[in-house]
Chains A and B, each alone.
Chain A
């Protein structure tokens, strides 16, 4: 049963990724990215990470993708006739070759390593949110604060960049 769900989520997310890159109209690209994000969140459910599933749906789909869609619809882009880069064909062949080599190596690797301190039973006992919260606010508190500062800087930077430059307009009129 898990295998069926994994195959569905994996295949649909890969197909949606291909559509995101190849579709012509930018709004269609953003909508197929939405499909990709929802199916990746399904993969998170299969991996016992339901807190990340919620964060993926709320933050990625609900905030980031809606921001992209707002900007796309604000700018009302005309789709170019030639929407691929000129050198697309030169990139495609080596990329397929390299990707298949990497895939061959990945599927053969055993991936064993030292186990950590939270097995699946411990996660399932109190829930994933509890485990993530305990870990974040004990061992990774500094990273949490750094991400907070980073988001503050990003918000201020976005506001400063997107504001209409009044002084420049008047200077241009004077010239």
Chain B
């Protein structure tokens, strides 16, 4: 029997990897992929707690997180396409129009 803390440890490692990807990479699409890694880490946590604490609510929230990831991917990629059309670059350092 695998302890619950093993699942939370895997989830924490994946979350840190995703956070590092968001902070470190310069390509906007890779930043979005790292956000997907972080959402998957949260999903592992939710499903593991749902199994070990014998409640179905965790799996439902994981399902809703997958739906929200789908919406986030659609809107994020649309924004990337708009920016790419104007500037021919997906570097996050060069997207500073809203910065002051």
Contact = CB atoms under 8 A, between A and B. Distances in A.
Interface of A: 2-3, 6, 10, 13-14, 17-18, 20-21, 26, 29-30, 33, 36-37, 40, 43-44, 46-49, 51-52, 55-56, 59-60, 63-64, 67-68, 71-72, 74-75, 77, 80, 82-85, 88, 91-92, 95, 98-99, 102-103, 106-111, 113-120, 123, 128, 131-132, 135-136, 139-140, 143, 147, 150-151, 153-155, 157-159, 161-162
Contact of B90 (A14, A36, A77): A77
**What size tier do the contact residues of chain B reach?**
35 or more
Contact of B66 (A26, A55, A98, A158): A55
A172 to B, nearest CB: 11
Interface of B: 1-2, 4-10, 12-14, 16-21, 23-27, 29-30, 32-34, 36-37, 40, 43-44, 47-57, 59-60, 62-64, 66-75, 77-82, 84, 90-91, 93
Contacts, number: 234
Given A33-B33, A115-B53, A84 B23 contact: no
Given A14-B17, A36-B37, A51-B59, 12 more contacts: A3-B2, A14-B10, A18-B17, A20-B34, A21-B25, A47-B50, A68-B32, A123-B56, A135-B56, A139-B57, A158-B78, A161-B78
A92 to B, nearest CB: 7
B74 A154 contact: yes
